[in-house]
Structure 1
Amino acid sequence: MSNRPATLGQLRASGWRSVPVKQEIQRNALAKVRAGEPLVDGVMGYEDTVLPQLENAVLAGHDIVFLGERGQAKTRMIRSLTGLLDEWLPIVAGSEILDDPYAPVSRPARDLLEHKGEDTPIEWVHRDDRFGEKLATPDTSIADLIGEVDPIKVAEGRYLADELTLHYGLVPRTNRGIFAINELPDLSERIQVGLLNVLEERDIQIRGYKVRLPLDVLLVASANPEDYTNRGRIITPLKDRFGAQIRTHYPLEVDTEVAIAKQEARPFEVEGVDVRIPEWMDEIVATFSHLARGSSNISQRSGVSVRLTVSNRETMVANAVRRSLRLGEDVVAPRISDLDALASSTMGKVEVESFEEGREGDIIGKLLSQAVLTVFRDRIGTGVAGPVVDSFDDGEVIHTGEDVRVADYAARLDERPGLAEIVDELAGESATPAERASAAELVLEGLHLSKRLNKDAVGARATYRGR
């Protein structure tokens, strides 16, 4: 930073050129597209759907509204757009609205330039400081977004007619940057009107002052589809001023949802405990969310967020760790019996639609069973069930649950070669005993759901027997 120009004269001598923020973003976006890099980081499943639309909107210099249900990475994409700004930007020193040294728009910056000339001091701001964000709430005011008279400045002796009495709102403070409004329909209609000039004429007007601040800003907003009719709506003139409306969606593939959950879930680290999460358990958690999105018993108006998958994965691992610590085991692998714990992390994230009171738990349980059966059929299939089912003809049973140790599963597998063969094929040669126990529960539960084995269950404890 010490090598950067510190005055207006030095800035001119350096050859730095001022460009509008949308042109700056376009230039950096073109470089990313040319290099084959995504415009935003950490977003999966949008490569062929949302991201091409985003690229078009950015290259066209459009203001953007992301339309989609909750948990579809709208806010993450908006915040990632700051990566398209130049890392450092020169401003008039002390400017509240990041005035361009070559063309300042605020009164204090203009006065400083007039007084200092080529010696006007310059400051450099990082791209992260050129991003402003506001969650739209019904109590949001024009003063919050645009600005208002500052009574403290008036009390200091300035006249009301003096432009220096103004306190700038969030939008002008992100001049030459990106301003985001989350849940735009929640903004009252009269406040939305205040954004019309920002989007079209690119200026703001504060109260009765003859003040016109030509702003240079990229406006990005997010909205849920239902907000158009339920909690509020985006007024037609404002929708018309957004250059692009991009529809987001939930992950289309289970593998994508699994990858997102692995990326977003908090790592579970316990001293002295090795946590192993089998792939089939991740697939069950993700499949459960996919099934919920297609269930008539789950409200689709509010959506089934990817946050459900992330929270359920974290809860499943936490329950497995708790179980293993109580049993004194140092290698942990979630099992089917750990899925009962998902009720607590699911009920607050979905809206169950049922005519009968108290059936929420049954509906969640059926969806989990469907998820287990789906993964069982995909990974194992029902054609290999014969040797396992035959091994139960002697009347022996297998107990599973939170109080069953890994060593007990190993002993049962040694007694049933047919079951052990399928478990080893599923878990792989390098699987730990804990992972083999998890695979064994998947096989047993899958055969039960396929109506090949009987099951007696009490809470998280189950007994499997032949039919």
Structure 2
Amino acid sequence: MTQASGDHPTTLGDLARIGWHPRPVREEIRANVLERIRAGRPVVEGMVGYDDTVLPELTRALVSGHDVILLGERGQGKTRILRSLVALLDPFVPAVEGSALNEDPLAPVLASTKARLAAQGDATPIRWIARDERYSEKLATPDTTIADLIGEVDPIKVAAGRTLEDPEALTFGLVPRANRGLFAINELPDLPERIQVGLLNALEERDVQVRGFTIRLPLDIVFLASANPEDYTARGRLITPLKDRFGTQLRTHYPSTIAEEVAIMRQEAQLCDPTVEIPEVLDELVAHTAHLARRHPAVSRYSGVSVRGSIAAREAIAAAALVRAVRLGEHPPRARLGDTEATIAAFAGKIEVDAHDTSEREIVATLLAQATARVFTERLGHLDPSDVIAETNDRPLAVDLDGPTATWEQILADRPALAAMGDHAPPSERLVLAELCLEGLVATRRLGKRVLGNRVSYGS
């Protein structure tokens, strides 16, 4: 249990003296959302690319007091959005000490709690619940039961004299225990349809039914859910009556621009070493690879290509740079264009291929080459590469892709036309732009290339 600060009241009498007034979770969230708007703060922080699409709709849903379901392919930040809503709750709220339902001391639910308050009066102990404790999450799985979500009749309590209509006869599940908070279900269509039916009353009438008996509980919960589009998976579907009970349905999406994808990668990637330097051009190459994959005809459009692929690719590039730097004794580790080879394994597990005659790795390798050509055009397309082509054809360039950085620096010192391709860039990117120039000319079929292990030869 998270402890509140010491200046909070500890008994019912103290709570009444400070003028505490209960308010529903929806009103609590609405007030905090409007306060953020007045202060010019984002309602949900850390989400990139949703400012003009998802977040305005989400804001209106929260102000309306709606239960919310997010629909979208994998890796679009649905779970992150749901978890971020915890920040819209008050830092602490009081509850009767020992209550399984986090009952407000001034608005009890269970008969036993009411009896206890009557017996103990102002001396009833209370605890303060931190906002993080008021968020519950369940990943929908085929083996989920009604007992997991709603609860189960406890035969021992019934034998002790409880009636089946008495909430006290129930061993509470996740939903009742989320009272006065947020309850989220991830991948809702994966929940068996008969279990989805068991949630209908909880969302609409705010009561629960167990084994044919209606247990009247005035639950104070905001329900949240995430789901893939209904035609994405054969594992299950979202039944229409349950979908209808969510006040707002939001559609998430992938980053619409390369800049947004790069911003997400930089925000989310956990690099193996914070000193690894990754030039911006490599981030752009990874982002282009992801965007091309989402439009590739052989990649399943229903499963999508998760942003986790871009994030994992950036982490793989950093790892490749660090391994080389440690082996060669270089510091700080600097990523190079050849390190993008590591992104193939990172992306391969993030795509689903519809074609049977092509592997994920083959598709990613092809997309990586296409992305290289695009970044080459964007970064260096305004420059005339004729001198580089002539220079390289006259003196073919052989290089070890995993060799020391000093080797590349010597190459640039010896090849002025190639070095000039990076004159407009900051020093940290000049070497990578030289590599990009060579690979871009290969990708656009203006320069030849031979590969033997880590040794690469450019030229006619």
- Under a length normalisation based on structure 2, what TM-score does the superposition of the two structures give? 0.94
User: Are residue 376 (structure 1) and residue 376 (structure 2) matched?
Assistant: yes
Change (3 A) 1:451 1:227: closer
Q: Cα distance, 1:336 vs. partner?
A: 2.2
Q: Cα distance, 1:454 vs. partner?
A: 1.0
User: Are residue 453 (structure 1) and residue 447 (structure 2) matched?
Assistant: yes
Q: How does 1:399-418 map to 2 (within 5 A)?
A: 399-418=398-417
Distance between the aligned counterparts of 1:159 and 1:203, measured in 2?
A: 19
Instruction: Give the residue type in structure 1 aligned to 2:421.
Output: I
Distance between the aligned counterparts of 1:459 and 1:312, measured in 2?
A: 22
SS at match of 1:59: helix
Q: Which residue of 1 aligns with 2:138?
A: 134
Among candidates 202, 209, 214, match of residue 205 of structure 1? 209
Q: Deviations over 1:364-421 (max 9, x none)?
A: 2110011111111111116420221222353x11123334322221222122211111
Change (3 A) 1:459 1:290: farther
Distance between the aligned counterparts of 2:96 and 2:441, measured in 1?
A: 71
Distance between the aligned counterparts of 1:23 and 1:378, measured in 2?
A: 50
Check conservation: 1:40, 1:77, Cα contact below 8 A: yes
Check conservation: 1:340, 1:460, Cα contact below 8 A: no
User: Are residue 438 (structure 1) and residue 438 (structure 2) matched?
Assistant: no
Q: Which residue of 2 aligns with 1:188?
A: 192
Change (3 A) 1:34 1:354: same
Check conservation: 2:189, 2:236, Cα contact below 8 A: yes
Change (3 A) 1:231 1:351: same
SS at match of 1:275: coil
Q: How does 1:22-41 map to 2 (within 5 A)?
A: 22-41=26-45
Check conservation: 2:273, 2:322, Cα contact below 8 A: no
Change (3 A) 1:298 1:347: same
Check conservation: 1:147, 1:166, Cα contact below 8 A: yes
Q: Cα distance, 1:10 vs. partner?
A: 2.1
User: Are residue 79 (structure 1) and residue 78 (structure 2) matched?
Assistant: no
Distance between the aligned counterparts of 1:133 and 1:393, measured in 2?
A: 61
Q: Which residue of 1 aligns with 2:392?
A: 392
SS at match of 1:129: helix
- Number of residue pairs matched? 455
Q: Deviations over 1:172-199 (max 9, x none)?
A: 1010110001111111111111111111
Among candidates 246, 269, 273, match of residue 269 of structure 1? 273
Q: Which residue of 1 aligns with 2:20?
A: 16
Q: Which residue of 1 aligns with 2:353?
A: 352
Change (3 A) 1:338 1:2: closer
SS at match of 2:423: helix
* Percent identity for Structure 1 against Structure 2: 51
Q: Cα distance, 1:206 vs. partner?
A: 3.2
Instruction: Give the residue type in structure 2 aligned to 1:385.
Output: P
Give the unaligned 5+ runs of structure 2: none
Q: How does 1:329-368 map to 2 (within 5 A)?
A: 329-356=330-357, 359-368=359-368
Q: Which residue of 2 aligns with 1:300?
A: 301
Which deviates the most, 49-58 or 38-47? 38-47
Distance between the aligned counterparts of 2:344 and 2:109, measured in 1?
A: 56
Change (3 A) 1:159 1:120: same
Which deviates the most, 165-174 or 398-407? 398-407
Which deviates the most, 144-153 or 85-94? 144-153
Which deviates the most, 447-456 or 43-52? 447-456
Check conservation: 1:9, 1:118, Cα contact below 8 A: yes
SS at match of 1:411: helix
Change (3 A) 1:361 1:178: closer
Give the unaligned 5+ runs of structure 1: none
